[in-house]
Amino acid sequence: MVCAASHSDELVITSDDFQCSKILLENAEKKMAQIFSGVGRGKYVAETDMVIKYIKSRHRVSRSVLLRDLYRSLDKDSFKNIMETLVEMKIIKSSLSTEDNEMYYEYRGSD
């Protein structure tokens, strides 16, 4: 009815209106599972997932590169909290390189 009312004052629903409504509903249903995904979650869940995906895609990355590439999403404190959490969860491993005095993060799995 909404699709019909959007283009006509008549109280008639055509097959085109029905098809339009069906498409709109199907598109809305695709994202329904995400509606409540943020309810009751921790403070940095989305950012943590982003960091895991980033490190996983590169397998090993330096702290400076990680910060440089993700600075729009993470401040210094949130970055520190996320990295400490991932290390404690054994999803990533951190190591200090003696060659360049740079901290590196390596993906270990179990995410």
Whether the per-residue pLDDT at 37 is higher than 70: the answer is: no
Q: Does domain 45-107 have CATH number 1.10.10.10?
A: yes
What is the C-alpha to C-alpha distance for residues 26 and 31, in angstroms, rounded to an integer? 9
Answer whether 0.75 is exceeded by the pTM: no
Confidence class for position 35, pLDDT limits 50, 70, 90: low
Contact assessment for residue 80 and residue 51, using Cβ atoms and an 8 Å cutoff:
no
* pLDDT score recorded for residue 38: 57
Q: pLDDT tens-digit profile of 56-68? A: 999 999 999 999 9
- Round the average pLDDT of the chain to a whole number and report it: 85
Q: Which residue has the higher pLDDT, 84 or 21?
A: 84
- As a whole number, mean pLDDT of residues 2-10 equals 74
